[in-house]
Amino acid sequence: MLPKENRIKALLRQQGLDGAIVSSPENFHYVTGFAGHQHTVSRQAGFSVAVVSAREDVPTQITTMDFETPTFEKKSAGRFIVRPYDTWVGVKTWDEIAHGAIVPAPAVMQNSMDLTKQMLRDMDLADKKLGLELDFIPVPYYNTLCAAFPEAKWENISDLFVYARSVKTPEEIEVFRTLCRAADAGFTAVSRIAKPGVSEREMVQTFRETVIATGKAAPSAWSMFSTGESGSRLTIPGDAVIQRGDVVKFDAGVNAEFDFYTTDTSRSWVMDGADPALYRLKDRLYEAQRRMIAAAKPGLPIQDLYHIAYDYVKEQYPSYRRGHQGHSISMGPATAEAPYINASTARPLEAGMVLAMEVPCYIGGVQGFNIEDMVLITEDGCEVLTPQTPHYL
């Protein structure tokens, strides 16, 4: 994918920062357009590191293990300065293997922190105001940096990345279109089998197999398919079997296998023979969500979007309480991130936002509902990215 390095540089300048250390796999990917393999697997702060200067004329420097350096150099295509640190992998030269050549070992093994310190000094950032992902890095890592650079001033920029990721580039939007089509295919397949006698495990297996068959995404491990009482609580699919009169609910998504992006969609289907109160509740929740979607367009304050759904449900159900009616979504690992569709978010909707618009209601020990779609804010309105899966069977 294309790097979003320049967007981060601009936001650093807006916040009066001279540079930043990028530590998490997803934000490393956001800056560079690719991620480190071991960094992603381990989620440890030092496996791959990007040091970004706020200045446009200073190239970003990145470090990774020597074993992965050729991959980073290939993916960087000259845009970034790649600096390897030494590891236990011990890659050999052909001369050593084929001809018995002796290559002296380095006198000093340099680790990731050694290279990070060097990059900060080489980029003239050692005594500047710098951003760190304090929501990600461990305390010992932070303490090491503070001890090495006592004159630097550190500021948490975890929210800066969440803000940057809340408005998608055209390339990211196409990624979401692809993911949502795969998710939609899986959910639609589930809709065709959802009936009394089918188990939660059968539903999730159908979803997984259909998504994998698209070749475009991987099913999220957290995906929940539930029926009856299990829909009223947070749980993973179990042994429950759909009964007459149940509400069948799923809250599920898919992931881009190597690019972190993720989705979040829900449906609730009321089976024949249910209490009429459940049908009425489902209709009200669905209508509230449709009202949100109909109103969504650039410039609308997000808190207004919240009240469109919340107030509509509460008018008929005075006991209804809900802290938010949806959220932004991007690269994970969390599916929900700011801006949240809640009563306090005054930020206006912007073209390029992708929001999961949801109207849930859970009845403790009885049944659960959630009505949720992925919605792209366009230049003059919005587009539902998950339109194929039926809301009613």
> What fold characterizes domain 5-165?
Creatine Amidinohydrolase; Chain A, domain 1 (3.40.350)
CA nearest 142: which of 158, 124, 125, 154? Answer: 154
pLDDT digits (tens, 9 = 90+) for 206-249: 999 999 999 999 999 889 999 999 999 999 999 999 999 999 99
Contacts of 197 (CB under 8 A, 6+ apart): 241, 242
Angle at which helices 158-165 and 5-14 cross, to 10°: 120
Read off the pTM. Answer: 0.94
pLDDT digits (tens, 9 = 90+) for 306-357: 999 999 999 999 999 999 999 999 998 889 999 999 999 999 999 999 999 9
| pLDDT of amino acid 228 | 96
Give the count of alpha carbons within 13 A of 10, CB side only: 6
CA 331/CA 337 separation, integer angstroms: 10
CA 250/CA 105 separation, integer angstroms: 56
| pLDDT of amino acid 382 | 98
| pLDDT of amino acid 90 | 85
Q: Which CATH superfamily is domain 170-384 in?
A: Creatinase/methionine aminopeptidase superfamily (3.90.230.10)
104: pLDDT strictly greater than 90: no
Q: What is the DSSP string of 92-126?
A: PPHHHHHH----PPPSS---HHHHHHHHHHHTT-T
CA 245/CA 371 separation, integer angstroms: 18
| pLDDT of amino acid 257 | 84
302: pLDDT strictly greater than 90: yes
Burial 266-304 (b: 16+ CB within 10 A, else e): bbbbbbeebeeebeebbebbbebbbbbbeebbbeeebbb
pLDDT digits (tens, 9 = 90+) for 362-392: 999 999 999 999 999 999 999 999 999 999 9
Q: Where does the chain hold its CATH 3.40.350.10 domain(s)?
A: 5-165
| pLDDT of amino acid 310 | 98
| pLDDT of amino acid 241 | 98
Q: Where does the chain hold its CATH 3.90.230.10 domain(s)?
A: 170-384
The shares of helix, strand and coil residues in the chain, as percent rounded to the nearest 5, are: 35, 20, 40
pLDDT digits (tens, 9 = 90+) for 63-92: 999 999 999 999 999 999 999 999 988 888
